[in-house]
Amino acid sequence: MFPFTTNLTLPKLIEASKRLSTKGDTQVSENNLFYLNIDDAYIHQLFPLLEDKRIQKPAYFGAKSAGAHITIMYPEEYKKIQRQDLQQEHKFLIKKLVSAEIGAKTYYVLLIESPSLLSLRRKYNLPDLLNFKGYSIGFHITLGVKT
């Protein structure tokens, strides 16, 4: 199942995103989230440009938190990651800004494209799309959440 998404037009946010680094390195968290660690500026600089005071920053900061990231494999999908796949640099391309309704929440995300991250999922025999709470979703950077 795919979430209901809406394309958003926020030129200032898109322009600001183009000034940020489009690469990161692979890491795995204690709870088995396999992700691409990216510049926290994606959230700290872009979140305020969402223009809706009801949207909150994602709870990605603090002890044992991933910070800004692109999920490669959710804990529910987790497979043992080979050592050579950790601390590896990958690049990505920002495609567009959308909102996605999943359950009682609306997520504000930058959809991204990354052939190398897609190859990594395929290497571990996972489908091209991530499985988030029963929804099939592409690679993305979550900028904010509204309940």
Question: How would you classify the pairing of strands 140-146 and 34-37?
Answer: unpaired
Quote the number of domains for the chain.
1
**C-beta neighbour count of 71 within 10 angstroms:** 20
* Per-residue pLDDT at 118: 98
* Per-residue pLDDT at 108: 97
User: Which residues, in sequence order, are CB contacts of 61 under 8 Å at separation 6+?
Assistant: 40, 43, 67
Rounded Cα distance, 60 and 67, in Å: 5
Question: Which string of DSSP letters, residue by residue, matches 86-128?
Answer: SS-EEE-EEEEEEEEEETTEEEEEEEEE-HHHHHHHHHTT--S
Take residue 57 and report the two structure tokens written for it.
């920053």
User: Which residues, in sequence order, are CB contacts of 48 under 8 Å at separation 6+?
Assistant: none
Take residue 107 and report the two structure tokens written for it.
């997520």
* Per-residue pLDDT at 103: 87
* Structural domain span for residue 96: 4-146
User: Which residues, in sequence order, are CB contacts of 47 under 8 Å at separation 6+?
Assistant: 55, 57, 143, 144
The pTM of this model reads: 0.95
- List per-residue pLDDT tens for the chain, 147 residues long: 777 899 999 999 999 999 999 999 999 999 999 999 999 999 999 999 998 999 999 989 887 889 999 999 999 998 899 999 999 999 999 999 999 999 899 999 999 999 999 999 999 999 999 998 888 999 999 999 999
* Per-residue pLDDT at 142: 97
